[in-house]
Amino acid sequence: MKWLRAPATLAQGKRVYAIGDTHGCITQLRAVHDAIRADLAAHPTPGAVVVHLGDYIDRGPDSAGVIAAVRGFDACPVVNLKGNHEVTLLAALDGDGPSATDWMYYGGKEALASWGVDPDAPPAEWRSGIPAEDQGFLRGLLPHHRVGPYLFVHAGIRPGVALEAQSLDDLTRIRGPFLDSEADHGFVVVHGHTPVRERVADIRPNRINLDTGCVWGGVLTCGVFEEDRLGLITA
């Protein structure tokens, strides 16, 4: 793993593995998880945590498998964040018709198929076909996670708005106002949501984008944050 200079410094003993948008790409996620396990075995620390940045589902071949892998990862503590695709699915399961239509358009058919559910079935059958434990996992996802000088979130934040006042919609969907901002947010935002065209992590002084377009033919990227260094694991 090649180490780069990070834009912020974690306290000694802390290490964060942050994994970008997976979108059902189970083979790549398993490879990244295996690389994390190997790194922990070679360089153990009690202060390690894995943060999945959301968008586990849709578009790719095995959304159900990705959720199982995320739920089953036990090499160190894990924090699982909520992405816009999970928000849309949950709204659809709760009876929001427009969200159901959006979910189908943005990859819900592939996700349903991975659970063995007929994509042409009505939403009532989605609720019965998606395992209760997976639905519970999705409902328990967090909006963001802070570790020292880093804020981990799916899409980003609205500049100039206090963290506690950020809307879930912005945290899971924002693009332009956040991506275009060069403001010092008071922490470095580590996010996904918007695929980087160059298919490599976009590292800036105020934010780091780890969505490298895995489901679009790119790679799955995991950023490894430790002290003043940033390493990149890809699959």
CA distance 128 to 118: 12
79 sits in the region (left: phi over 0; alpha: psi -120 to 50; else beta) called beta
pLDDT at residue 1 greater than cutoff 90: no
Report whether 18 contacts 210 (CB < 8 A): yes
Strands 202-203 and 207-209, by their bridges, are: antiparallel
Per-domain boundaries in the chain: 3-89+132-234
Quick: pLDDT tens for 193-214. Answer: 999 999 999 999 999 999 999 9
3-state helix, strand, coil in the chain (%, to 5): 35, 20, 45
Quick: pLDDT tens for 150-204. Answer: 999 999 999 999 999 999 999 999 999 999 999 999 999 999 999 999 999 999 9
Question: Is residue 72 within a helix (H) or strand (E), and if so which, with residue range?
Answer: helix 63-72
Quick: pLDDT tens for 25-53. Answer: 999 999 999 999 999 999 999 999 999 99
Does this model's pTM top 0.85? My answer is yes
Assigned fold of 3-89+132-234: Purple Acid Phosphatase; chain A, domain 2 (3.60.21)
Count CA atoms closer than 13 A to 5's CA, side-chain side. 3
pLDDT of amino acid 166:
98
